[in-house]
A and B are shown apart, each in its own frame.
Chain A
């Protein structure tokens, strides 16, 4: 079974600073996908960024980028030029590429990191 661990329950930075959220995972799969989701107080989970394990290049989406270290099973999220609207819970998630009919499609989430951006 896969597990995802986020070791930082809470983080707080000043607006415009850069912040990095940590995530490690455990799996015996070779092909998989990793995701970072943002959950503001409205409860809506919003996809921030995704990474395919077979790609060596780290994914980037505007101010968001990841540092994917496959051998270390590490997948951190870097937010540059942080904004007040980035305040939210952030969840790291794992999904196997394919494992037959059962089991592959579900997302496995970490416990989350509560990020606060201060003015």
Chain B
């Protein structure tokens, strides 16, 4: 079946602009996660959704970052007033449920470059 998809694949924007990154999870997966991967580093957790609600947003770096999942499927990560330090690959993952043993399946990521 279809895996996790993310759009756009690449995004170039100017400092101060607003961007939206989209994630389509695997159908039927109730849990959705966003991670950020800086160059040469491992992914770092941003936010976790169970259904429509953000169960854990402790990884969001500041209030310029916001994410929604209004219907419990597609999620959008929104970044306001982008800064050069926001440049990274943004990865989305989904899992069947929230249990610790559930495998998280990752999308190909969106590479964001802020000029």
Contact = CB atoms under 8 A, between A and B. Distances in A.
A106 B103 contact: no
Interface of B: 31, 33, 35, 40-45, 48, 50, 55-56, 58-59, 89, 91, 93, 98-101, 103-109, 111
A64 interface: no
A111 B42 CA distance: 5
Contacts, number: 77
A116 to B, nearest CB: 15
A101 B51 CA distance: 13
Contact of A106 (B48, B50, B107): B48
Contact of B42 (A97, A103, A112): A112
Nearest to B109: A43
A contact patch SS? loop
B107 A33 contact: no
B42 A44 contact: no
A105 B91 contact: no
Contacts of B108: 42-44
Given A44-B106, A50-B103, A105 B33 contact: yes
A61 B99 CA distance: 22
B59 A106 contact: yes
A109 B44 CA distance: 7
Contacts of B55: 101-102, 105
